[in-house]
Amino acid sequence: MPPLIPVLLNRFDPHSISAFLVHKGILYYSISKPGPTESPVTSLIRGICEEFPLKSLSITRERIHTTHPLQGICKGMIKVAAKRACELDLHDFIKFLTSFEGGAFEVRPPIPLPFRNPDVLVGSMAPRDSIPRHLTSLLYMASGRTRVSAMLTDAVGRVLAISWSRTHSNRAAHAELELVQNLYADGFTRFPDHSTLWISLRPCAMCAAQILAFMDGSEGFKIRFLADDPGPASKNSCLFEGSALWRSSGCPKVDIALVDN
């Protein structure tokens, strides 16, 4: 047995079983406790895309193994940035690892980036009737080029958080996902009551699953998007009323609407 594997197995416990995949003789694994914004599978995918931006396309083509149930966010992220995953029971999971001969690499999820220019952006006031224009101007001011952006405002229109997609360097780093990761890193476990999430594009299946998980328990939460995405990624999401994923998520009632920009 290679020396790395027993070390790896010693770190496992039933509450923090990780996900792994094997690519060209290297075991890429992630050990993380599931939470409202993270699962072992999402940690693994996000970490690989962050750590190996050029090789990530071929690495994430391999089958991901996990003992943790595949939640909506895992399935969504697999659609966006990976290929396939399967659930293994603990016995098979350990058997697979103990018979493995090769190198191993621990993948850690990326650390959330701080909001850019927080003095200017976070806390600034977005007048209710001009929020879409405000969002667009913030987007151009901060990124200088067109990217998907997401902004969270409170009940009176103050900007609580803002983020942009970083898909040029990490395929899984969509704006909404980044925003939720940042909020979680700041101590939030759900969207604040009566807050509104503004997105420049209708969310894809991955982001929709993340938003749905993070809005659990939030009162009066609203989603407004500035442009419709006609692609299948957003049409079959848990936030698209009538879609298969919406039905399998229990037909959630969500206040989501396109804003006439």
Cβ of residue 78: shortest distance to Zn ion, in angstroms? 13
Task: Name residues whose C-beta falls within 8 Å of residue 141's C-beta, 6 or more positions apart in sequence.
Answer: none
Burial zone of 180 (CB within 10 Å; 0-12 exposed, 13-18 middle, 19+ buried): buried
Tell me if 21 contacts Zn ion by CB under 5 A: no
Interface region with Zn ion, contact rule CB under 5 A, candidates 97-105, 113-121, 183-191, 206-214: 206-214
Question: CB under 5 A: which stretch of 36-44, 189-197, 205-213, 240-248 binds Zn ion?
Answer: 205-213
207 lies in the binding site for Zn ion (CB under 5 A): yes
Rounded to a whole number of angstroms, the minimum distance from the CB of residue 40 to Zn ion is 20
Give the range of 24-32, 44-52, 64-72, 200-208 binding Zn ion by CB under 5 A. Answer: 200-208
Rounded to an integer, what distance in angstroms lies between the CA atom of residue 69 and that of residue 139? 36
| Shortest Å distance, C-beta 202 to Zn ion | 9
The answer to whether the beta carbons of residues 97 and 66 sit under 8 Å apart is: no
Does residue 150 belong to the site contacting Zn ion (CB under 5 A)? no
Question: In the block, which residue shows the tokens 């939720």?
Answer: 180
Cα(21)–Cα(110) distance, integer angstroms: 18
Least distance to Zn ion, CB of residue 210, Å: 8
Assess 59 for contact with Zn ion (CB under 5 A).
no
Nearer to Zn ion, 80 or 97 (CB): 80
Nearest partner of 200 among 252, 131, 123, 246, judged by Cα? 131
Q: Which CB atom, from 67 or from 181, has the smaller least distance to Zn ion? A: 181
DSSP E strands: which ranges in 79-204? Answer: 84-87, 103-106, 149-153, 159-164, 196-199
Candidates 166, 174, 190, 224; binder of Zn ion (CB under 5 A) is 174
Interacting residues with Zn ion (CB under 5 A): 174, 204, 207
